[in-house]
Amino acid sequence: MAAPMAAPVQSSLSPFAARLLGSERAQAAIALRTLLSESSLPSPLWPRFVDERPGLLSAIWVDGDWEPPLGQLFVALCIAHGQLLVDGLAALKLATAAPQVGFATSSVTALGELQRLCDKTAIRVAATSPSFPSDPARELAKDAGAVWVVDPLTVAQVGALIARRPPLALCSVVGAVQQPQVLDLAVEGVTSPAWTPRELVRRCLGSTSAAWVALCGGALTGQPWGADEPLPSDVSHLLILPADHELLTRRRLLRDPTLRITNACLGCELCSAYCPESLSPHREMQALALHKPLSQHLSSACSGCGACSVMCPAGLLPAALFVDPRLVRPLLLPQRHHPTPPPSSVRIPIELALRRLGLSDFGPD
Ligand code: SF4
Ligand code: SF4
């Protein structure tokens, strides 16, 4: 019988990485890559430079502050699924031959849990400043090379995969609810598409507001979602707001974005000054007002972080427009990484971000 052909994924481990790992660990890395590529996780899981320029990767940082404002998912992951995080990150270190890996967060609770879990491992745990959007690559990566910043939910899903457990289905429900919390939708025994905002609000002991609206995905780029409309299967963040909240008023004004931009964009360029990717959202806003499509550069480089929306003095929500699927060039949000860190490093203190979005009342005590 003819020998089976080698799976194409085997060649994806570069000779550089194989040499670095040694033959035994290289075999384990190849097996792991095969498992990842055959799973439902996004493929490729890491940025292209990891494979295209082997040796460039200096570190993987798990960004514990990657969530939209008020999100509680990372702390819940650390408390209830910390071992999946640790195992997932160890697996990614092996699969990519990253010299250094670690968790970065400004949460004191998460830091405590992680330090306990990572004691006696090669995984670093680092405190970062509570700024928006977070930027562990700039704060922590002092070495030459490129950093891959990855979100914790992806890392925990890798951990679940190698532990042969079903994927996690966690959703942070925050804002105007009696008991903000992270719900485990899988454990509750109903498949995710059956969940509606009304049911999740009920599980948080109801809303603090008689009339409320759900934003699926969070304050800055989330979509208003009908109370009885089934949520997407990968929902991880639901923000409940009183129906008269200023953020919803700003969104209503965006229903006719062209009109809103034409009438209200001040051209102040504050959005561009705070863009962590050094993009020019003010130019895009002007282009959209003239019915021009988004530029290719913005489409590929915008992380959807929402800093431009936080800072806009005219109350516009540029980020919500840039991720709007109805625009001419819808975005596929890339996972953030910084082969060449952008020159701008202005960050918004998280308290200021919450204040500008009218969300201070919903923060932790
Ligand atoms: S959402 Fe995009 S354009 Fe706006 S600040 Fe973030 S990266 Fe820049
Ligand atoms: S911050 Fe707002 S008003 Fe100023 S240029 Fe950007 S979109 Fe226009």
Q: How far apart are CA 198 and CA 206, in angstroms?
A: 9
Helix (H, G, I), strand (E, B) or coil at 216: strand
Q: Please give the share of the chain, as a percent, with pLDDT higher than 70.
A: 86
Q: So what's the pLDDT on residue 251? A: 81
Contacts of 12-18 spanning 24+ positions with Cβ under 8 A: 12/51, 13/97, 14/51, 14/54, 15/54, 16/54, 16/55, 16/97, 17/54, 17/96, 17/97
Which residue owns the Cα nearest ligand 1 atom 4? 308
Instruction: Give ∠ CA 168-172-175 in degrees, rounded to 5.
Output: 170
Q: How far apart are CA 313 and CA 311, in angstroms?
A: 6
pLDDT tens per residue across span 117-143: 999 899 999 999 888 888 888 788 766
Where in 196-249 does DSSP place strands (E)? Answer: 212-216, 223-225, 237-242
User: Which ligand lies nearest the alpha carbon of 322?
Assistant: 1
Q: Has residue 75 got a pLDDT over 50?
A: yes
Q: Across residues 211-239, what is the average pLDDT?
A: 91
The enclosing H or E element of 52 equals: helix 49-52
Number of CB atoms found within 10 A of residue 211's CB: 9
* pLDDT confidence tier of residue 7, bands split at 50, 70 and 90: very low
What does DSSP say about strands 146-150 and 337-338: parallel, antiparallel, or unpaired?
Answer: antiparallel
Ligand 1 in reach of 277 Cβ (< 6 A): yes
Domain with CATH 3.10.20.600 in the chain: 170-244
pLDDT tens per residue across span 156-204: 999 999 999 999 999 999 999 999 999 998 865 555 558 999 999 999 9
Q: Has residue 249 got a pLDDT over 90?
A: no
Residue 275 CA to ligand 1 centre (angstroms): 5
Residue 284 CA to ligand 1 centre (angstroms): 11
* pLDDT confidence tier of residue 116, bands split at 50, 70 and 90: very high
DSSP designation for 11: G
Q: Across residues 50-55, what is the average pLDDT?
A: 86
Q: So what's the pLDDT on residue 193? A: 59
Average pLDDT of every residue of the chain: 84
The CATH number corresponding to 8-162 among 1.10.10.10, 3.50.50.60, 1.20.1560.10, 3.40.50.11540 equals 3.40.50.11540
Ligand 2 in reach of 268 Cβ (< 6 A): yes
* pLDDT confidence tier of residue 150, bands split at 50, 70 and 90: very high
Q: So what's the pLDDT on residue 123? A: 96
Domain with CATH 3.40.50.11540 in the chain: 8-162
DSSP code string of 258-280: HHHHHHH-----HHHHT-TT---
- Specify the amino acid at residue 85: L
Ligand 1 in reach of 78 Cβ (< 6 A): no
Nearest to 341 by CA among 149, 117, 77, 175: 149
Q: How far apart are CA 134 and CA 145, in angstroms?
A: 20
Q: What is the CATH number of domain 170-244?
A: 3.10.20.600
Instruction: Give ∠ CA 31-37-42 in degrees, rounded to 5.
Output: 140
Nearest to 90 by CA among 103, 74, 80, 81: 103
Query: Higher confidence at residue 248 or residue 262?
Result: 248
pLDDT tens per residue across span 319-357: 888 877 665 443 333 444 444 545 556 788 888 888 888
Contact 306, 215 (CB under 8 A): no
Helix (H, G, I), strand (E, B) or coil at 177: strand
* pLDDT confidence tier of residue 86, bands split at 50, 70 and 90: very high
pLDDT tens per residue across span 8-49: 443 478 888 888 888 888 888 998 999 998 898 888 889 888
Closest atom of ligand 2 to 316 CA is 2
Residue 38 CA to ligand 2 centre (angstroms): 44
